Chain A
Amino acid sequence: MKIAIMSFAHLHAVSYVRCLQALGVELTASDPDHVDRPAGEAGGPALAAELGVPYVDSYAELLEGKPDGVVVCSENAKHRELVELAAAAGAHVLCEKPIATTLADARAMIDACAASNVNLMIAYPVRFSPAFAALKGSLESGALGTPVAVTGTNNGQIPLDQRAWFVDPELAGGGSLTDHTVHVADLLDSLFDSARASSVYATTNKIMHAGKVEVETGGLVSIRYDNGVSATIDCSWSKPPSYPTWGGLTLQLVGTRGIADMDAFSQRVDGHSESTGNGVWLSYGTNSDAVLVAEFVSSIAEGRAPQPDGEVGYRTLQIVAAGYESVRTGQPVSLAPIRSET
């Protein structure tokens, strides 16, 4: 099994590389855009060498190696270009979230992969968290009754220090609303199975990190699903820069028979360090990235289509796009019926 890494722009690439190495697959990488990044941002052959991954200078060369699959970790706006290259080369694709910055790009990516008969999987690792699997199991078993309402939070530090492109409206597609709505939206897509978002209201602000970035840093997104559930997602980059960890993801589901609280990153040792002058936060438990990547590799080996797929990526991006439209109009936005691809 040969897997190629396309771009190190998103630093999740580092985690995916380590997980793929642990699986023993053959890896190559290319990160030609590293030369355009601000000074101090790791990438290119230096990062590849640090990770112990063979490096080539261009995507063309990378794809000439006939990888079975590629992992696309470019800036969000460049996902389409790289996914189309990979699909044309016959490689299955695992694409970092969000799928794209526009719905047109997302649809083109889905179509390109379908035309080449390759899988398009979107990197939503929290879906592979055991806590989420248990929550989904509780809902499906009826233990929680009928779902009534959900509050999801995906709050983190502003990802400004590691990668400047995250706050570039063109390259990222937006700020925290783009970055942090889709993970929870993906979980709801999975939990509610065939139910679809029917209306989205969002409000955002730029109070945190004002003056440093153009994009929104705070946001609340309210979604009505056609199964009657109302869900609100806090997508704010509201963890302070000195917070002892990057952030987290929580989901509270109110059902007619019970209330479930999931904290996907709750398994940790807490403490305080005099040497860092800060809280200690030692995560343990399942590395969801490893399960995600293993599913991508298994799906190729077994010749089946993995989830979450491009359609989930599209639906979650639709919620983001409707959120921005709602911010613009100040009113909730109805979602057009989802186009069926099957």
Chain B
Amino acid sequence: MSVRSGGNYTIGMVGAGGIANSHLPSWLSLGADLVVFSLEGAPELVRRHGGGSVVGSLDQLLDACDAVDVCTPTYTHAEIVCRAAAAGRQVFCEKPLARTSVDARAAIDACVQAGVQLYPGHVVRYFPEFVAMHDAVRAGAVGEVAVQRFSRTGSAPSQPWFLDETLSGGLVMDQSIHDLDFARWNAGEVATVFARQTIAPGPDVVRSCQVILTHSNGALSYVSGTWARPGTTFRTRFEVAGTNGLLQHDSRDHQPLMVDGGVVDDSGTGLLPATPFVESPYLTEIREIYTAFRGGPPPRVTAEDGYQAVRIAEAAVASLSTGRAIQLDPEEGVVR
């Protein structure tokens, strides 16, 4: 690993799109320096958030940073992770870790060989309602998990690459992967994946996917995802039922403050959830990653978790194309 000498800890952010706008302020608030490289939007990004400097190439970025935050479109993740690893930089990569499980494994192997840390950005593991639920499940509040449901609904993304399944992996790989990861975190390794998807014809990009997981221990998970029409309020729901209880949450139902101004607001909250009155889960996430990068304890989500999430989503996509339930090889579920 090449080590940069002197100076403040510097994050090299690659990409300047939607998720970069959530990550960059978190890094800044933690006191890191930022350099940003992006094919487009980097000057606007740093201007918008009042921090960071723009560099002109990935090589310049790698020379100038201690760790890389990969915020580019999914299909570029693995290549950039491998470049960062080759330069000896720690890596934080927005989910999905890669477009395919083969690429995800290659990215992990590159980081292992280079001796650098690699963490995927599964931010739902940092949302306080999900954390409260997971901690309670771990503490036995519902007994043995039997049936879980997760639902995630928001406006369809406007950037075209999200809607191109070869680039993003589609709704399952981009959106539902959050809940597929969480379902596995709660109920363990997945044995079987079945999925259906409906993409509405016509000018609307409205689409829904429904994924059913059977875990190795027999627990069942249902994950539904929707990219809805513009203006749709972002909403998550979950229910976890077990042998001794039930936990449920609907983001629509737990609002600490609601103001009725008598005006219909059609703006919605788009692709990313609003998180009022709590610390930004992106900040919680990035603080944990930052701590690990600087020698602290490892974060709650590992590169292997990122790989497994891609593998489950990939099985769901395979189920969509074949119409069959897909069995996952249990040996692949073992942490290497």
Contact = CB atoms under 8 A, between A and B. Distances in A.
A234 B325 contact: no
A144 to B, nearest CB: 11
A219 interface: yes
Contacts of B222: 151, 220, 232, 234
A224 B196 contact: yes
Given A149-B224, A210-B243, A218-B220, A257 B229 contact: yes
Interface stretch (B12-20, B55-63, B200-208, B288-296): B200-208
Contact of B200 (A232, A236, A256): A256
Interface string A201-222: 1011111111000000111101
Contacts of B323: 199, 332
B146 A207 contact: yes
Given A149-B224, A149-B226, A238-B246, A208 B146 contact: yes
Q: Which of A238, A257, A258 has the most CB of B within 10 A?
A: A238
Most buried by A among B146, B207, B214, B218: B146
A196 B165 CA distance: 29
B232 interface: yes
A149 B210 contact: yes
Interface string A222-233: 101000111010
A148 B207 contact: yes
Given A149-B198, A151-B224, A256-B200, A218 B210 contact: no
Contact of A254 (B196, B206, B214, B241): B206
Interface string B127-164: 00000000000000000111101010100000000000
A148 B171 CA distance: 14
Contact of B208 (A148, A204, A219, A240): A148
B212 A220 contact: yes
Contact of A236 (B147, B196, B224): B147
Contacts of A332: 194, 323-325
Contacts of A287: none
A234 B200 contact: no
A152 to B, nearest CB: 11
Interface residues of A, number: 43
A146 interface: yes
A222 B196 contact: yes
B8 interface: no
Contact of B198 (A153, A205, A209, A230): A230
B43 interface: no
B208 A201 contact: no
Given A201-B325, A230-B208, A259-B232, A208 B198 contact: no
Contacts of A204: 220
Contact of A151 (B146, B151, B198): B151
Given A149-B198, A254-B226, A259-B232, A207 B243 contact: yes
Nearest to A227: B198
B262 to A, nearest CB: 22
A145 interface: yes
A258 B228 CA distance: 8
A243 B248 CA distance: 13
Contacts of A207: 144-146, 218-219, 242-243
Given A220-B220, A240-B244, A148 B198 contact: yes
B226 A219 contact: no
A208 B242 contact: yes
Contact of B204 (A145, A203, A217, A240): A145
Contacts of B201: 146
A209 B146 CA distance: 10
Contact of A203 (B194, B210, B239): B194
A165 to B, nearest CB: 23
Nearest to B149: A234
A128 B200 CA distance: 29
A146 B228 CA distance: 12
A278 interface: no
A255 B204 CA distance: 11
Interface string A255-293: 111110000000000000000000000000000000000
A236 B207 contact: no
B197 interface: yes
B192 interface: yes
Nearest to B228: A259
A220 B196 CA distance: 13
A331 interface: yes
Nearest to B223: A232
A149 B194 contact: no
Contacts of B144: 207
Contacts of A219: 147, 220
B220 A208 contact: no
Nearest to B151: A151
Interface in A59-118: none
For A207, A243, A331, which residue has the most chain B Cβ atoms within 10 angstroms? A207
Contacts of A259: 153, 226, 228, 232
Q: Which A-B residue pairs are the 10 nearest by beta carbons? A: A149-B208, A238-B241, A230-B196, A207-B146, A218-B147, A205-B218, A236-B147, A256-B200, A256-B206, A218-B146
Interface of B: 144-147, 149, 151, 153, 192, 194, 196-198, 200-202, 204, 206-210, 212, 214, 218-220, 222, 224, 226, 228-229, 232, 239, 241-246, 323-325
19 contacts: A145-B200, A145-B206, A201-B194, A201-B325, A203-B212, A205-B219, A205-B220, A218-B146, A219-B220, A220-B212, A224-B196, A234-B149, A234-B222, A240-B245, A254-B206, A254-B228, A257-B204, A257-B229, A259-B226
Given A153-B149, A218-B146, A254-B206, 19 more contacts: A148-B198, A148-B206, A149-B208, A149-B224, A151-B149, A201-B325, A205-B147, A205-B218, A218-B220, A218-B241, A220-B147, A229-B198, A232-B196, A232-B210, A234-B149, A238-B241, A239-B241, A257-B229, A259-B226
